[in-house]
Amino acid sequence: MNNCLSSKRKSLENELFIGVPKKEFQEEFGIDHKLSFGNKYGSLEDIRLWEEWHKIKISESHRNKIYRVIYADKKTPMKTLQPLMDYFKSQGDSSIFIALRQEKYEDELKLCLMEIDLKEPNLSILEDINLTEWLRSKKR
């Protein structure tokens, strides 16, 4: 992806993960995409608590520099991501970041941050589109 941003200050990153649970957890949590806060699964209602927990670790002078990063499987359906993006928009955010593997480094762990404008149209009505397909459509 040619529009990757360089990594920001990692300690200010508020990480959320969306993906299918690992094989060893699928019996307990199922095979559907789940929202994860580090090592705990949660829901949209849990985000505010997660953010407060993250803020108390950051000095007050840096709290306004906290940014959100969603780590998502490439095949994550947009209908799964859209409620999360809508939530952040309702909280006053104008953008978020999505961490992705660069396409030319598929076998490596190199990630890039892609800034997503939350003013984009709602794509959740496109049932079959996934994150990779949506990002490719934005390049056109």
Structure confidence at residue 4 (pLDDT): 57
pLDDT in tens, 32-82: 888 888 778 888 889 888 888 888 888 899 888 888 888 887 778 888 888
| Alpha carbon distance 64, 46 (integer Å) | 21
* pLDDT for residue 1: 39
Strands (E), 5-127: 13-19, 34-37, 40-42, 67-72, 95-101, 111-117
Query: What's the alpha-carbon Rg for the chain, to the nearest Å?
Result: 15
**Residue 128 scores a pLDDT above 80:** no
Q: Would you say residue 108 has pLDDT above 70? A: no
Beta carbons of 88 and 62 less than 8 angstroms apart: no
